[in-house]
Amino acid sequence: MQVPQDGEDLAGQPWYHGTLSRQKAEALLEQDGDFLVRASGSRGGHPVISCRWRGSALHFEVFRVALRPRPGRPTALFQLEDEQFPSMPALVHSYLTGRRPLSQATGAVVSRPVTRRGPLRRSFSEDTLMDGPAGTEPLRVRKWSSSQPADLAHMGRSRENPCVMGASTMPVSALPRSGSEPMLLKAPASLGTIANSLRGSDGQLQAKAPMKPPRTPSLELPDVPERPPTYCELVLRVPSVQGTSLSQSCREPEAPWWEAEEDEEEENRCFTRPQAEIAFCPPDAPSCLLGPQNRPLEPQVLHTLRGLFLKHHPGSTALHLLLVDCQATGLLGVTRDQRGNMGVSSGLELLTLPHGHRLRLELLERHETLALAGALAVLGCSGPLEERAAALRGLVELALALRPGAAGDLPGLAAVMGALLMPQVSRLEHTWRHLRRRHTEAALAFEQELKPLMRALDEGAGPCDPGEVALPHVSPVVRLLEGGEEVAGPLEESGERLLRTLHGARQMAGLAPKFRKVAAQRLRGFRPNPELSEALTTGFLRRLLWGSRGAGAPRAERFEKFQRVLGVLSLRLEPDR
């Protein structure tokens, strides 16, 4: 699916159905992930994304922000919650290819467009979305001067930014006027029709900014008899506009560090001798989830983490984990000084070299710590059997979201599978039986897809091409170079596996720039939750599992003790017969 250029006719998109009622749209949505875009007649022709998620039909009204025409800038921006796009096709393409939720509250992800049947009568450029609802007189074209109160800089300082919030929340109580014309009063327009009649270039419509109305959610409560349920709640993330002009507040936000372009001088760079061992584990910073001193497995922190992970669907958690893994591996966010000190441009190259010893130890620590935390998510459920089965299902769904072709985070996939295959978890016969009975689809995916995939990755025969994979499987080569990989089996088979691992490491290092581009593409437009990102870091998990004092103990001692803790929890849940 190609990204349409700015101004491209929306009617040419197969998923756009034009003016379509809610009932007809819901009849076309059959499976979870099905979606279409329609023009809502009840909302003045606004674009609405209708989709089916977890058996329910959901409708998301897209905010359209009209901008003052300028060369090189789109005439309008389209937004759901966080990011703004120059066209409606660009918005749909971003959410479709990135598998991002349409809203954080619902977690709904679109995956299959429902194509329309037959041509549309009107193109998108002729739709009421551009000129307001039918029957509304369009705004007159007039000339502005910097001395009028509608000057853009004056308006940006006098009230909230209309480019972001005015399209959906600002009531209009007067028709536009020019010069010394008297103000023509009219009845306030409905909330759903204001976005089409108000543009960023229209300026201030009154001598004094009107009172800001109370926040009106787009989710109608079902217990109100006179108004049926309508649109899902969208929580806009709006930057502060104090002290900024309108032109500054409507600019595209700066790209985060993982979307920054790498220097182009890497290919022509001369070899530099490594200066020191480099690690990419971020330094200990004040935690928003843990206090300065904490004990192992604090119940309040575990409860907070459980609610945090339940709030985010597996696709969102997979992108958070991919971002943290890319930083820990040195694939994204490597500074120029770090590249100069380690002599190469990526952690994927560094971990294959002799002076990558510190990085390899950190990656081993991260893999084992994530696996222990995943096992604790299951074994720590002391409630009913369904609770443990739901935890297993959540881990399986997270592994599916991390696999090649999805997020493509193979280190994260290996850690989650390590938790599911841990002896203390795999011995829970009643829990696994309940999973197969109540969550059959997840159980089949684990047995028929995830386990063979993990076995192939460990043997060096799994998928590793950039595109399918954003971050390759590094555990086998890290264990091999650190002397912790035991190649079992006949000599010939073990030798072939050893050669495949070394060949894969060489290939991985050579393809590091391609993996970097794929990872940045996967994360483009992604805005992580700070708490969830922190909860997936190695330093946080180390303090969570062993406490602030025990986190500094030797690695082998720490892991041996925690394995015994997991064994006790497993026996308490399902004692041996």
Give me the DSSP letters along 410-429: HHHHHHHHHHHTSHHHHT-H
* Among the listed residues 193, 76, 196, 66, the one whose alpha carbon sits nearest the alpha carbon of residue 131: 196
What pLDDT digit, counting tens, does each position of 413-445 carry? 999 999 999 999 999 999 999 999 999 999 999
Count H helices, E strands: the chain? 24, 8
Print the SS3 string covering 347-382. HHHHCCCHHHHHHHHHHHHHHHHHHHHHHHHHHCCC
pLDDT at site 2: 39
Domains and CATH numbers, the chain: 1-239 (3.30.505.10), 298-573 (1.10.840.10)
Closest CA to 16 of 44, 43, 48: 48
Q: What is the mean pLDDT of residues 138-144?
A: 40
**CB burial of residue 268 (10 Å; 0-12, 13-18, 19+):** exposed
**Average of per-residue pLDDT across 507-517:** 93
403 touches 473 (CB < 8 A): no
What pLDDT is attached to residue 83?
A: 79
pLDDT tens-digit profile of 88-105?
888 888 888 778 888 887
Determine the Cα–Cα distance for residues 316 and 311; give it in Å rounded to an integer: 10
More confident residue, 172 or 343: 343
DSSP helix/strand/coil, 59 = strand
Structure tokens at 292: 């300065």
569/425 Cα distance (integer angstroms): 10
Q: Is 409 helix (H, G, I), strand (E, B) or coil?
A: strand
The closest of 373, 484, 471 to 418, measured between CA atoms, is 373
Q: Are strands 16-19 and 34-40 parallel, antiparallel or unpaired?
A: parallel
Query: With 0-12 CB in 10 A as exposed, 13-18 as middle and 19+ as buried, what is 256?
Result: middle
pTM value? 0.59
Question: Dihedral of CA 295/297/298/304: which sign?
Answer: positive
> Looking at residues 199-219, what average pLDDT do you find?
42
Contacts of 243 (CB under 8 A, 6+ apart): none
Instruction: Reduce the DSSP state of residue 174 to 3 states and report it.
Output: strand
Give 491-551 as a 3 state SS string: HHHHHHHHHHHHHHHHHHHHCHHHHHHHHHHHCCCCCCCHHHHHHCCHHHHHHHHHHHHHC
Cα Rg for the chain, rounded, in angstroms?
27
Q: What is the mean pLDDT of residues 336-340?
A: 82
| C-beta of residue 318 within 8 angstroms of C-beta of residue 398 | yes
Helix (H) or strand (E) holding 17: strand 16-19
Higher pLDDT, 493 or 460: 460
Most confident region among 22-36, 127-141, 153-167, 476-490 by mean pLDDT: 22-36
Integer CA distances (angstroms), 405 to 107, 306, 413, 519, in order:
20, 27, 12, 12
**What's the confidence (pLDDT) of residue 32?**
87
